[in-house]
Structure 1
Amino acid sequence: MLIVVCSLMLQKAGFAEEKDSHEVHRVSVFRDLVYAEVPGEEGDRPLQLDLFVPATSEAPPLVVWIHGGGWRNGSRRNPKLMQVTENGYALASLSYRFSKEAIFPAQVHDCKAAIRWLRANSKRYGYNADWIAVAGSSAGGHLALLLGTSGDVAELEGEVGGNLEQSSRVQAVIDYFGPSDFVLRGKTQPERAYTDLSGSYALLGGKDGKVAESMERLASPATHVSSDDPPLLIFHGTADKTVLLDQSERMVELYEALGLEVELIQHEGAGHGGKRFFEGDSLRRVLAFLNAQRPSRDENIASE
């Protein structure tokens, strides 16, 4: 079911605080858009996304948000990066299947289906999908990393939702403390990797305290890093005990070895999440990264 609410007025915040605090933008909001259908207990069920498109002088480029929740819960509602719509970007926030419904690679198949759908429907909703940035936190960060690194991995593409004539590749990635290497995690955090303490155990089909290494490798963004991967911005807390900092350091190591663009921003003393990752200087760094990568720098907001 499609629900359209037009002319949502958003107050300027975050990075835009330097501008007139009373300035507002028109944002068209499209909720519960069905991007694919997948088998459910009682027949096919929809996979949905929410879309926020600001009124800009040109069709705005698109940022896609993937929520966290250990691949077993979470919601696309209230995406963390809503502020990008105040700075010249459209934003899509998607739902995907949880591990209790389907194990990996269903989740990345769903995310790639959403990217293809967003490209196929860009003119209908008024954004530019030639260039897409993807961002996510925790489990969502893992999926964002996979979208960035697995563009040439047929096994991770899937056929969910169709639109197979469209590319699922993304042009920039923002990862907030997402796992990148499950083989490494099995060595440094076995108490999480091979127990229900971590959602990855169910995600990867774990049983009797074990996970097939072939599945760990397939699901690891680190496995698929190649010379054509997009620029990457990573945020991680130095005191994160849920996903250790070495997961992000691993991506930096692999990217730098290939001469790819990568930056790791460490929050001293921060754990697994928190407001500091999504506001203030962190938000400014995100916007600077997006502005440096986007094909058009026109951020002028059209007014009525």
Structure 2
Amino acid sequence: MNRNLLILLVCTLSMSTQGQNLAWRTGVRDTSYSSAGDYKANKKKYPFIKLVADEPHANVAEQRNLVYAKVNKRSLHIDAFLPKDSPKTPAVIIIHGGGWRSGDRSQHIPLAQHLAAKGIAAFTVEYRLSTEAFYPAAVFDVKASVRWLKANARKFNIDTNKIAVLGFSAGGQLASLIGVTAGVEKLEGNLNSRKYSSSVNAVIDIDGTLSFVHPEAWETQNINSVGASAMWLGYPRTERLDLWTEASPLNYAPQNKVPFLFLNSAIVRMHAGRDEFKKIMGQKGIYTTVINFEDGPHSFCLYDPWFGPAVNHIVSFINKVL
């Protein structure tokens, strides 16, 4: 084999092992996770649960299917739920779960409605899933929604010094990552005007992991498995550990400045890095608290009897820290 052919072969092999796996980016929306499907699965173990419904509130104004950004010709949507006849309010952006690959923002419309009824403007945000775009596209999208919200603060009557991000499961990981990476240039993206900061003032993480590389992480304990996180990052954990670390909110704990509320189920693997993060925040004097719903499933925040207490904890936290 001549030298030039050998170099070409080595380069080709290197690209095949290091490039993102484009087969995972199907371009077809994954509908495997939904509130209805999750309810059906959980009803077997928790026959008493009730999925909280999408029900308009008399004291809440709704604006659905707003466009907060465009990626080429692709519109990214957000829904607004606003307290009526209220002075300037805090705001929370709500990020849905589904393994970065499935789910949609409608799952948390009931939560947004209840928060708005209690005086907190709430926004359910769409972001590009891993079937459409790999990490960090979803991070860029949600940060763009923060900038959009600040640009439209007067329209929505919100206080830009009182903006929180909240997420469930994969959305919780995203909320945490957004919260701890303000000003980290590689995670900012260029959607919407950069004259507005993507920084937020508080984070609510509902059963979202803080680390893909922590010893307690599912990915660490199943190092050769290809799960939803690999399909989002575009690489198996064995190939790009640096990227898996970069996407882990715990990695940025030393620089974090914002308070955190963790609402957690009994699913231990979803809490990887939480206790270490809380310890670091304690050393820095940054308010961080953990509420455990030990009798509930991973998706407890979607159901009565846990929904009401979860809403109350969120409202109390926002009123305390913002």
Q: TM-score, normalised by structure 2?
A: 0.75
Cα shift at 1:269: 4.0
CA distance change for structure 1 residues 156 and 278 in 2, over 3 Å: closer, same or farther? farther
Q: Does 1:54 align with 2:83?
A: yes
The answer to whether the Cα contact below 8 Å between 1:149 and 1:224 also exists between their aligned partners in 2 is: yes
Which residue pairs with 1:34 in the alignment?
67
User: Which has more radius of gyration?
Assistant: 2
Write 1 or 2 for the structure with the bigger share of strand. Answer: 1
Cα shift at 1:76: 0.8
The answer to whether the Cα contact below 8 Å between 1:227 and 1:258 also exists between their aligned partners in 2 is: no
- Partners of 1:193 and 1:28 lie apart in 2 by 47
> For structure 1, which segment, 262-271 or 137-146, has the greater mean C-alpha deviation from structure 2 after superposition?
262-271
Which residue pairs with 1:212 in the alignment?
240
Q: Does 1:170 align with 2:200?
A: yes
The answer to whether the Cα contact below 8 Å between 1:186 and 1:193 also exists between their aligned partners in 2 is: no
Q: Does 1:291 align with 2:319?
A: yes
> For structure 1, which segment, 51-60 or 167-176, has the greater mean C-alpha deviation from structure 2 after superposition?
51-60
The answer to whether the Cα contact below 8 Å between 2:78 and 2:125 also exists between their aligned partners in 1 is: yes
The answer to whether the Cα contact below 8 Å between 1:252 and 1:262 also exists between their aligned partners in 2 is: yes
- Partners of 1:59 and 1:27 lie apart in 2 by 14
The answer to whether the Cα contact below 8 Å between 2:261 and 2:289 also exists between their aligned partners in 1 is: yes
Which residue pairs with 2:250 in the alignment?
222
CA distance change for structure 1 residues 114 and 179 in 2, over 3 Å: closer, same or farther? same
* Structure 1 residues 245-292: Cα deviation after superposition (integer angstroms, max 9, x where no partner): 333223223322322210111222433222268523332221111111
The answer to whether the Cα contact below 8 Å between 1:137 and 1:176 also exists between their aligned partners in 2 is: yes
Q: How does 1:93-132 map to 2 (within 5 A)?
A: 93-132=124-163
Give 1:256's aligned amino acid.
Answer: G
* Structure 1 residues 146-172: Cα deviation after superposition (integer angstroms, max 9, x where no partner): 111001311111112x21100111101
> For structure 1, which segment, 165-174 or 120-129, has the greater mean C-alpha deviation from structure 2 after superposition?
120-129
- Partners of 2:162 and 2:123 lie apart in 1 by 13
Q: Does 1:153 align with 2:187?
A: no
Give 1:138's aligned amino acid.
Answer: S
Which residue pairs with 1:70 in the alignment?
99
Cα shift at 1:101: 1.2
Match of 1:234 among 234, 242, 262: 262
Q: What RMSD over aligned residues (CA atoms) do the two structures have, in Å?
A: 2.2
* Structure 1 residues 120-163: Cα deviation after superposition (integer angstroms, max 9, x where no partner): 01212333333101101000000100111001311111112x21
Write 1 or 2 for the structure with the bigger share of helix. Answer: 2
The answer to whether the Cα contact below 8 Å between 1:135 and 1:141 also exists between their aligned partners in 2 is: yes
Aligned length: 262
CA distance change for structure 1 residues 59 and 253 in 2, over 3 Å: closer, same or farther? same
Gaps of 5+ in 2: 1-56
Q: Does 1:273 align with 2:318?
A: no
Q: TM-score, normalised by structure 1?
A: 0.79
